[in-house]
Amino acid sequence: MYLGPDTITIMSSFLEEFQRRNLDKKFIIRRACLRRSTVQDWHIIELTICTTSACTSLVEILTLIASSFPKLEALTLDLYLHAYIGIYDADDLADVLARFSSLRVLYLQGAFKRLRFGGRCLPRVCRADPTSTLDAYAWVISISRSCGEQSLEFRGLYW
């Protein structure tokens, strides 16, 4: 990722905290897009995060991203790089995603095989189990509802 002077200034406190928590050893930031709201104010509006090693820090990094970039409009989570990066409770993930007040597009890649719905994980072939598929869609709908008035577009719901 190219970090120009504006990007580094905007992301400096985030990157310091990212490194302090050792998240830089578990995730990489593949893409960050900026938008200017005034002549002086720049904001991160799009971010792509990828896993780099087995970890259980997804909720932690999402909490940090939500607090660091309140104007984030698009978020891509690429969890495909490793076979095991932990199992997450779907409700915990929905709670942290609800903190993104400006989020409009959520691109989840490899997320559903890492989620536990009501104490059980989705099977590897989700389409073979309609109940689990319904659980997954119900979870997606619950995230949409938890975002309040804003509309949220889901892209790439890869199981």
Report d(CA 151, CA 148) in Å as an integer: 8
Listed residue (158, 155, 34) closest to 106, CA to CA: 155
Residue 134: per-residue pLDDT: 54
Render pLDDT for 69-127 as a digit per residue (tens, 0 to 9).
999 999 988 876 555 556 777 778 888 888 888 888 888 777 666 677 666 555 443 43
Contacts of residue 121, Cβ cutoff 8 Å, sequence gap at least 6 = 87, 113, 115
Residue 130: per-residue pLDDT: 41
The model's confidence at residue 55, banded by pLDDT at 50, 70 and 90, is low
Partnered with residue 77 across adjacent β-strands are 49, 108
Place of tokens 């002077």: 5
